[in-house]
Structure 1
Amino acid sequence: MLGHEERPPVTRSRTRVDAHVKVLDDDVVALAKERGIDALVYAPHFTRLPTIRKRAARFSDDDLTVIPAREVFTGDWGNRRHILVLGLDEPVPDYITFEAAMAEADRQDAAVLAPHPSFATISLTRPEIAAHGARIDAVETYNTKLLPHQNARTRRIAEATDQPGFGSSYAHLPGTVGEAWTEFDGALDGVDAVVDAFREARPRTVIHRGGAGHQLRGLVEFAHLAYENTWEKLDRQFLSGDEPTLPSNVAYEGRFNDVSVYSGTLSDYRPN
Structure 2
Amino acid sequence: MAAEARVDCHVKVLNDAVVERARAVGLDAIIYAPHFTRLPDIRRQAASYSSNDLLVIPAREVFTGSWRDRKHLLAVGLEEPVPDFIPLEAAMDEFERQEAAVLAPHPEFANVSLTEADLQQYRNDIDAVEIFNPKHLPLHNERARGIAERLGYPPFTSSYAHLPRSVGVAHTAFERAIETEADLVAALKDGVARRVVYDNGCKRWRTTARELAHLAYENTWEKVDRLFLSGTEPTHPHHIAYDGRFDDVSVY
User: TM-score if structure 2 supplies the norm length?
Assistant: 0.96
Structure 1 portions without partners, runs of 5+ = 1-10, 263-272
Residues 117, 126 of structure 1: 8 Å contact kept: yes
Within 2, Cα distance between the matches of 1:210 and 1:96?
36
Is 1:166 paired with 2:156?
Answer: yes
Structure 2 portions without partners, runs of 5+ = none
Quote the residue 2:8 is aligned against.
18
Within 2, Cα distance between the matches of 1:241 and 1:205?
41
1:48-70, Cα deviation, whole Å (9 max, x unpaired): 00000000000000011111000
Is 1:64 paired with 2:61?
Answer: no
Q: Residues 119-268 of structure 1 correspond to what in structure 2 (within 5 A)?
A: 119-238=109-228, 241-262=231-252
1:203-230, Cα deviation, whole Å (9 max, x unpaired): 1110013421122111221232223332
Instruction: Return structure 1 stretches of 4+ with deviation > 3 angstroms.
Output: 235-241
Within 1, Cα distance between the matches of 2:33 and 2:157?
15
Residues 170, 199 of structure 2: 8 Å contact kept: yes
Match for 1:148: what amino acid? P
Is 1:102 paired with 2:65?
Answer: no
Residues 146, 222 of structure 1: 8 Å contact kept: no
Match for 1:199: what amino acid? K
Within 2, Cα distance between the matches of 1:219 and 1:159?
28
Q: Residues 34-53 of structure 1 correspond to what in structure 2 (within 5 A)?
A: 34-53=24-43
Within 2, Cα distance between the matches of 1:217 and 1:170?
11
Residues 247, 260 of structure 1: 8 Å contact kept: yes
Query: Residue 67 of structure 1 aligns to a residue in which SS?
Result: strand
1:69-93, Cα deviation, whole Å (9 max, x unpaired): 0000000000011100000000000
Higher mean displacement: 39-48 or 239-248: 239-248
RMSD (CA atoms): 1.3
Higher mean displacement: 226-235 or 113-122: 226-235
Residues 227, 233 of structure 1: 8 Å contact kept: no
Residues 176, 187 of structure 2: 8 Å contact kept: no
Identity %: 56
- Compute the displacement of 1:235 (Å): 4.0
Quote the residue 2:68 is aligned against.
78
Within 2, Cα distance between the matches of 1:37 and 1:205?
14
Larger Rg: 1
Residues 29, 59 of structure 1: 8 Å contact kept: yes
Quote the residue 2:101 is aligned against.
111
Aligned positions, number: 252
Within 2, Cα distance between the matches of 1:13 and 1:245?
37
